[in-house]
Amino acid sequence: MRELSLNTSMYEFIGKIIPEERMFFDEPMSRHTTFRVGGAAECMVLIEQEEELLKLVPYLNQIEQEYFILGNGSNLLVGDKGYRGMIIKLGEGMNRIKVEGDRIYVQAGALLSRTAAAARDAELSGMEFAAGIPGSIGGGVVMNAGAYDGEMKQITESVKVMDKEGKIMVLDNDTMEFGYRTSIIKNRPFIVLEVVLRMQPGRKDQIQAKMDELMEKRRSRQPLNYPSAGSTFKRPEGYFAGKLIMDAGMRGYRIGDAQVSNKHCGFVVNIGNATAADVKEVIEEVQERVKDRFHVRLEPEVIFLGDF
């Protein structure tokens, strides 16, 4: 095993849990985020079984090694200088979807869009809003993902999580403390393993029609032709982030190839070869100008990781 700046004995231990072919060194994070930017992670491991997480995470916490759990990378901005820690990416072995009656059992790595399609095929209604959201189920419940008057809170029955010692718990809907783009997991050292969704019976053609309607709204209003992290900012109470940004004169504002979208000012997009620093500077400039003009602080939905 190659010599690294991180503890070499750590990699020897991890090699007993994760096969060598699922360990990646100096892995460009631009390949794993929807912004398509970001430097290299010193090490990334691909998790294919829940048991691997149960062994790996307590060990990393025991030796105080920094790590980050990665799903689809849809709300993540990794710095150009990379991440000097371990990226734990949920692989295909962690994206099982199982339908039983009006419940759907979904592993954390499954995409929201794929889960919504499975619900439609099972003639279960309630998840149409998520068909166009690019994130994973795990990230979706952590941030209570939502769109078009729908959110994960409405359909989540329970969430199976693991704490940093490897203890498994099941949190019901009330315990999750869902709020606007947040949940109890947002500020706790819990890792989502599986989610149980409960929905209402519906007709497949009507569910599909609703999904098509919402997808058309997205296409007409959002800059889906450029890499982004979706809505860059949370909606401040009493306002719409996009309108504040537009009224601050920031439509089309650009640093390098990072730009406030001309189509929807709530999105910062990568129009070509933006760097993570470009994106971060645009976000910060938008925050500053909106605060100066309207005395409103815009809070990013985007997670910043690594060195910029």
Catalytic residue among 52, 128, 194, 301: 301
The answer for 291, left when phi > 0, alpha when psi is -120 to 50, beta otherwise, is alpha
Is 301 a known active-site residue?
Answer: yes
**Strands 146-147, 150-151: pairing kind:** antiparallel
How many angstroms separate the CA atoms of 265 and 242, rounded?
Answer: 5
Is 231 a known active-site residue?
Answer: yes
Q: Contact 241/233 with Cβ under 8 angstroms?
A: yes
How many angstroms separate the CA atoms of 159 and 156, rounded?
Answer: 8
Q: How many CB atoms lie within 10 A of CB 175?
A: 13
Beta bridge partners of 234: none
Q: How many CB atoms lie within 10 A of CB 189?
A: 12
Catalytic residue among 30, 50, 136, 181: 181
How many angstroms separate the CA atoms of 210 and 202, rounded?
Answer: 11
Name the nearest CA neighbour of 200 among 291, 131, 124, 148. 124
Catalytic residue among 136, 158, 231, 261: 231
One DSSP character per residue, 58-109 reads HHHHHTT--EEEESS-TTEEE-TTBEEEEEEEE-GGG--EEEETTEEEEETT
Annotated catalytic residues are: 181, 231, 301
